[in-house]
């Protein structure tokens, strides 16, 4: 067969049944991505004779004799196609994993299709952007700016990798080929709870191409936690690489290593496993009950009461809630349920390992290569110098890659065989084995005086940590921020992280705060209704103000700086925006219209240790090399770090060369999560840049005999009084004396600041179908000083879009036996372009941050108020309170008849 790809001919024979996506990647066209292998996401879009197709569901043989165009053939960094230029300049991407498919799809749009993007883009998914910037890109609306020397902070400069992203040349984890690479596949448990009695490898090892089969007897018997934090002691060591007991459907049973993915899969099918099925339990309340099946043995030091399967419980109070309720004129109590949520980052988990010069190298899709290295060194008894872990560009994370769940297996196989080994998750494995958001059931009880003053605030939180405790304790404590937002002299917080025989829960954007925010903000609206008060008036009366203690679980001292009233300003901005659009018409007869608002506070770094180190060196080419361990996966830290360095060094971003996320080439970095990529690593970059600047100016002052205070950086010169000394001259003089202009600095996640966010919605609900349409979405945020305004807008857009999915469409379904029944993007119902409105973003001007340049991260916090604002709007429209997510049409319709106050127009 003869194929023409990007104008070149190939005489190749695809394997029987091979799809065009894998065939093209085997030819080296790595811009063709895998997001689903089911035709759901569009990341693999290419042109076949000029027509856009999903290559994952197109048989390779159909391209025989036809012209195939991939993103690499559309344009190059020096010669961009117009649509590539539009995506660069919008910018129409964040992590960039979906971007090639978006460009290949939209580059074929007619004017009619551009006018109907909900239909035209229905086959392309993006988890990062919220689609607003993609719409801007398709319509040619540019936002990227050029920064003057020393003026980078505050400008919407483009990402350093922008042209590589839009041309498909940006390398993601799996975008490489290695000679002799072997492939791993995992046999997963069909049982929610069972003991493995035996595994017969015989038939599997007879499959042609199979090299090894690993079971629990073939791996180091060391307990660890897959969760990533600097202090591993905050998470339980309750996991083995492979175990002889399985505790959820999907858990690893055995691993097959083979020449090809197909051979490894066949090897898994040939394994004969004998199980002793054990009793399983799936509901946390039942799991805590006396006599429930025991999930973990008493040897686990983290399990406080192994009979009741508690990973962790916390009981705290301030004041006397009983007295507070006794003093209340009105009491509200309600129970609110938040489900599992999948991260659905379009790049699935994956790692590649190989040996080089006697050292283990691991290339991985992780949010923290530094801590992944620490864990691998522990598991396999390696010295730090025997191991390198690094990332290329990562295709989304949202907390899902704050785990070590693929790196250990490739390391195991490479150390055993000495050969390169690859493991790439399927989309189904993401749903069945990776760590979703913790399902939580929260009971909130509030007491208030008739004027709305809170007298008592009590929360009971039962969190389903699943079969293993990774992140279970930390997310439990994080939920206290939902209690912190309101003043009240009497607070009580009881929380339980409970083991069940379900897929382990983990970190997801909002990190334990999103679920309690839903409960507390809905409860506040219900309390307002009982008080006959406007919900915003109730919030204004009770929100914390500068000078108040940020009290949630204790009233001791903390490291949080809270000096400006950003939250009140956010509420006022959203209220004003909704008032301005109050006359917005409803979609027509049969639609009920309502308005809802919710708020949140979020600390700008995690309360546990967070460390980052940055290195900056001025090279002979007059380019500053900035080395920082933070991973780029769409949160925009790469751009912000370059801007901070350029700003302090008096130059432009083009003269900063970024090296990142490589344990051989960068310092230690806890990881990119909890907005610490900006807040902590950004401070490290700021300190390093200032140190290098000062060193250069001190040298220049000594060289010219001018006092240091008369010196300043000016792009490729240092101005010393009336003299402009070229940097090239200073570098040459310094080299001659054995001096290098270089510095390394560390930053830590303390002290911290507070971000404020308020979300408002005007929605319409159809009284017959239960369908929700969002008429207006507005979000106000206190982001501190904006490093890159367009990136801040992009993070909020993406966070709101994820919050809408959490609230309305995403439905993680598990059957009575603990198995996930909808492990794909289509049936899970990830939001598409048509589901996500443009959000009006209103920013509060503040300068109370202790972050770099007084900035605050926005990637994490903006999701928190979205679901409760939607739920509050739904109640305002229908008169019915829905306390369980997602708010699907079926769930809404089933209770619409309960309301005797259904309206055809807006309530306010």
Residues whose CB falls within 8 Å of the CB of residue 882, separated by 6 or more in sequence, listed in order: 871, 874, 875, 891, 892, 895
pLDDT of residue 96: 98
Q: Which helix (H) or strand (E) holds 86?
A: helix 82-89
Q: Report d(CA 693, CA 649) in Å as an integer.
A: 6
Q: Report d(CA 525, CA 599) in Å as an integer.
A: 11
pLDDT of residue 549: 83
Average pLDDT for 178-186: 97
Residue 591 has pLDDT above 50, yes or no: yes
Average pLDDT for 375-390: 98
Q: Report d(CA 104, CA 101) in Å as an integer.
A: 5
* 786-822 residue pLDDT tens: 999 999 999 999 999 999 999 999 999 999 999 999 9
DSSP 585: P
User: 197 exposed, middle or buried (CB, 10 Å; 0-12, 13-18, 19+)?
Assistant: exposed
Q: Are strands 839-843 and 491-499 parallel, antiparallel or unpaired?
A: unpaired
DSSP 784: B
Average pLDDT for 79-85: 98
- Higher-pLDDT residue of 298, 474: 474
Three-state SS sequence of 332-383:
EEEEEEECCCCCCCCCCCEEEEEEECCEEEEEECCCCHHHHHHHHHHHCCCC
Helix 535-542 vs helix 566-580: crossing angle, to nearest 10: 170
Residue 91 has pLDDT above 90, yes or no: yes
CB-CB contact of 692 with 731 (8 Å): no
Residue 765, CA distances (Å) to 119, 249, 336, 349, 903 in order? 22, 37, 21, 38, 10
Average pLDDT for 855-877: 97
* 727-758 residue pLDDT tens: 999 999 999 999 999 999 999 999 999 999 99
pLDDT of residue 362: 98
Band (555; pLDDT cuts 50, 70, 90): confident
- Residue found by looking up tokens 């807006």 in the block: 906
pLDDT of residue 902: 45
Max Cα separation, the chain?
86
Residue 29 has pLDDT above 60, yes or no: yes
pLDDT of residue 79: 95
* 479-512 residue pLDDT tens: 888 999 999 999 999 999 999 999 999 999 999 9
Mean pLDDT of the residues in the chain: 95
Closest CA to 203 of 253, 156, 267: 267
CB-CB contact of 680 with 605 (8 Å): yes
What is the side-by-side order of every strand in the sheet holding 51-54?
8-11, 2-5, 67-69, 45-48, 51-54
Residues whose CB falls within 8 Å of the CB of residue 325, separated by 6 or more in sequence, listed in order: 331, 445, 447, 455, 456, 458
pLDDT of residue 606: 86
Q: Using alpha carbons only, give the angle 134, 138, 144 rounded to the nearest 5 degrees.
A: 65
Neighbours of 694 (CB within 10 A): 15
Residue 903 has pLDDT above 60, yes or no: no
Max mean pLDDT range (253-257, 471-475, 479-483): 253-257
Residue 602 has pLDDT above 60, yes or no: yes
Average pLDDT for 71-91: 97
pLDDT of residue 490: 96
Max mean pLDDT range (117-126, 310-319, 554-563): 117-126
Omega of the bond leading into 91 within 30 degrees of 0 (cis): yes
pLDDT of residue 562: 85
pTM of the model: 0.96
Max mean pLDDT range (8-17, 28-37, 286-295): 28-37
- Higher-pLDDT residue of 563, 97: 97
- Higher-pLDDT residue of 550, 767: 767
- Higher-pLDDT residue of 253, 3: 253
Residues whose CB falls within 8 Å of the CB of residue 585, separated by 6 or more in sequence, listed in order: none
Residue 556 has pLDDT above 80, yes or no: no
* 270-308 residue pLDDT tens: 999 999 999 999 999 999 998 899 999 765 555 554 447
Residue 900 has pLDDT above 60, yes or no: no
Residue 905 has pLDDT above 50, yes or no: no
pLDDT of residue 417: 98
Q: How many CA atoms lie within 13 Å of 283's alpha carbon, on the beta-carbon side?
A: 5
CB-CB contact of 505 with 438 (8 Å): yes
pLDDT of residue 906: 42
Closest CA to 217 of 190, 257, 254: 254
pLDDT of residue 760: 98
């Amino acid at each position: 067969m003869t194929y023409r790809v990007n104008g070149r001919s190939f005489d190749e024979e695809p394997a029987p049944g091979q799809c065009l996506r894998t065939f093209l990647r085997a030819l080296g066209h790595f811009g063709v991505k895998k997001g689903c292998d089911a035709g759901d996401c569009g990341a693999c879009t290419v042109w076949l004779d000029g027509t856009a197709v999903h290559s994952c569901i197109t048989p390779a043989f159909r391209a025989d004799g036809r012209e195939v165009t991939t993103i690499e053939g559309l344009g190059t960094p020096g010669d961009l196609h117009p649509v590539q230029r539009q995506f660069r300049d919008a910018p129409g991407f964040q992590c960039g994993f979906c971007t090639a498919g978006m460009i290949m799809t939209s580059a074929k749009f007619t004017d009619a299709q551009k006018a109907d993007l909900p239909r035209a883009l229905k086959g392309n998914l993006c988890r990062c952007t919220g689609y607003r910037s993609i719409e801007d890109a398709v319509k040619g609306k540019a936002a990227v700016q050029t920064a003057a020397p020393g003026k980078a902070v505050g400008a919407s400069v483009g990402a350093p990798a922008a042209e590589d992203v839009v041309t498909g040349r940006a390398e993601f984890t799996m975008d490489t080929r290695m000679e002799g690479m072997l492939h791993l596949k995992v046999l997963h448990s069909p049982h929610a709870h069972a003991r493995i009695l035996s595994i017969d490898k015989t038939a599997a090892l007879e499959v042609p191409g199979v090299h090894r089969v690993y079971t629990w007897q073939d791996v180091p018997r060391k307990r660890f936690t897959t969760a990533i934090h600097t202090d591993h002691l905050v998470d339980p060591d309750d996991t083995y690489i492979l175990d002889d007991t399985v505790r959820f459907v999907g858990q690893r049973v055995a691993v097959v290593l083979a020449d090809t993915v197909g051979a490894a899969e066949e090897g898994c099918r040939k394994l004969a496993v004998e199980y002793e099925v054990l009793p399983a339990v799936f509901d946390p309340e039942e799991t805590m009950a006396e006599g429930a099946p025991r999930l973990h043995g008493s040897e686990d030091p983290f399990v406080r009461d192994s009979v009741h399967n508690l990973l962790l419980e916390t009981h705290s109070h301030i004041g006397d809630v009983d007295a507070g309720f006794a003093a209340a004129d009105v009491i509200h109590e309600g129970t609110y349920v938040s489900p599992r949520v999948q991260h659905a980052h379009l790049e699935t988990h994956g790692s590649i390992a190989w040996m080089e010069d006697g050292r283990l190298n691991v290339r991985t899709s992780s949010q923290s290569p530094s801590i992944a290295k620490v864990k691998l060194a522990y598991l396999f008894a390696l010295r730090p110098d025997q191991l390198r872990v690094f990332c290329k560009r990562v295709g989304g994370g949202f907390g899902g890659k704050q785990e070590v769940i693929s790196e250990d297996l490739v390391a195991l196989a490479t150390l055993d065989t000495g050969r390169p080994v690859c493991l790439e998750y399927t989309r189904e494995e993401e749903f069945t084995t990776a760590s979703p958001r913790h399902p939580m059931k929260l009971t909130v009880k509030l007491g208030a005086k008739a004027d709305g003053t809170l007298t008592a605030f009590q929360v009971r939180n039962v969190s389903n940590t699943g079969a293993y405790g990774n992140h279970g304790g930390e997310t439990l404590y994080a939920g206290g921020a939902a209690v912190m937002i309101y003043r009240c002299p009497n607070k009580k917080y009881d929380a339980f992280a409970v083991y069940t025989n379900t897929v382990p829960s983990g970190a997801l954007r909002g990190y334990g705060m999103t679920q309690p925010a839903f409960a507390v903000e809905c409860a506040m609206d219900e309390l307002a209704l009982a008080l006959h008060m406007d919900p915003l008036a109730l919030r204004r009366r009770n929100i914390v103000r500068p000078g108040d203690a940020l009290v949630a679980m204790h009233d001791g001292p903390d490291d949080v700086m809270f000096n400006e009233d950003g939250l009140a300003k956010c509420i006022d901005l959203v209220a004003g925006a909704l008032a301005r659009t109050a006359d917005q018409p409803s979609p027509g007869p049969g639609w009920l219209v309502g308005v809802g608002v919710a708020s949140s506070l979020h600390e700008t770094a995690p309360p546990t240790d967070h460390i980052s180190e940055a290195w900056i060196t001025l090279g002979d080419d007059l380019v500053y090399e900035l080395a920082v361990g933070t991973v780029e996966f769409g949160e925009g830290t790469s751009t912000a770090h370059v801007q901070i360095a350029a700003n302090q060094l008096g130059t432009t971003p083009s003269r900063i060369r970024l090296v990142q996320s490589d344990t051989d080439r960068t310092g230690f970095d806890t990881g990119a999560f909890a907005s610490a990529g900006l807040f902590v690593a950004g401070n490290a970059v700021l300190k390093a840049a200032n140190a290098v600047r000062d060193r250069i100016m001190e040298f220049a002052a000594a060289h010219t005999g001018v006092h240091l205070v008369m010196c300043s950086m000016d792009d490729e010169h240092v101005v010393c009084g009336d003299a402009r000394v070229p940097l090239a001259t200073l570098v040459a003089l310094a080299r001659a004396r054995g001096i290098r202009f270089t510095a390394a600095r560390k930053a830590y996640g303390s002290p911290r600041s507070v971000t404020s966010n308020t979300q408002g919605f005007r929605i319409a609900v159809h009284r017959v179908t239960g369908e929700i349409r969002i008429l207006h979405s507005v979000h106000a945020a206190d982001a501190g000083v904006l490093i890159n305004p367009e990136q801040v807008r992009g993070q909020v857009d993406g966070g709101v879009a994820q919050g809408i999915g959490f609230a309305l469409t995403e439905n993680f379904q598990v059957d009575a036996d603990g198995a996930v029944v909808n492990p794909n993007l289509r049936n899970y119902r990830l939001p598409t372009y048509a589901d996500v409105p443009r959000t009006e973003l209103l920013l509060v001007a503040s300068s109370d941050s202790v972050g770099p340049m007084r900035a605050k991260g926005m990637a994490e916090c903006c999701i928190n108020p979205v679901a409760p604002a939607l739920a509050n709007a739904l109640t305002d429209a229908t008169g019915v309170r829905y306390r369980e997510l997602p708010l699907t049409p079926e769930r809404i319709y089933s209770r619409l008849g309960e309301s005797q106050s259904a309206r055809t127009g807006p309530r306010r």
